[in-house]
Amino acid sequence: MKILLLEDDRDLGESLRRAFRGRMEFVQVGEVERAKGQNIGDFDLALVDLFLGDKVEERPGGFDFLKWIKQEAPAMPVIIFTGYGNTELVVEAMRLGADDFIDKGRIELKEVEKRIKDVLAKRKLERRVTELETRLNLYEPRQ
C-alpha cells in the first residue's frame, strides 16, 4: 500500500514510515506544489495535513490540494491529517471530498492504520458496486 503524505513535519513522516514499515509505504512531500507534481496514479491514498509551514493561514494549503486532487483523481481516497482540528475545518474538508479526518493531537498508530484500511475498503466496495450496477444495466430489458 503506497500513501502520499502531504506533511511538513519530517519527524512525523519518519515515525509513520518506521511504524508501518513492511505494511505501508509513505512518500512524504512538504509542499502542495510538490505533491501536485507526484504521479497520483502511483498512490492508493493521500494523507493530507491542512496547515503546512510555520504559520496558520486563513485558508489552509491542504484545502487547495484536496480540491485539486478531487478534480484530477476523484476516486483517490483522502484523509485529512492535522493538529488544528475544529468542527468548521472538518465540515469543510468533508464537503470538499475528504473521506476521513484524523486529529494529530490525539494520534494513535492503531487508529491511523484502522482509518486508512477502512477508507480503502470503503472505496473498494464503492468500485465493486459501480461495476455490478454497470453489469446489471447491460442485462436489464430495454423498454
Full strand arrangement of the beta sheet holding 78-82: 25-29, 2-6, 45-48, 78-82, 100-103
- Cα 84 to chain centroid distance, Å, stands at 17
Question: Above 70 in pLDDT, residue 57?
Answer: no
Which residue, 44, 70, 58, 60, is CA-closest to 7?
A: 60
Give the model's confidence band at 142: pLDDT under 50 very low, under 70 low, under 90 confident, else very high.
low
Q: Give me the pLDDT at residue 24, please.
A: 95
Q: In this predicted model, what pLDDT tens digit does every residue of 58-114 receive, in sequence order?
A: 557 888 999 999 999 999 999 998 877 678 888 889 999 999 999 887 778 899 999
Give the model's confidence band at 56: pLDDT under 50 very low, under 70 low, under 90 confident, else very high.
low
Q: Give me the pLDDT at residue 2, please.
A: 96
Vertex 35 angle, CA 33 and 40, to 5°: 130
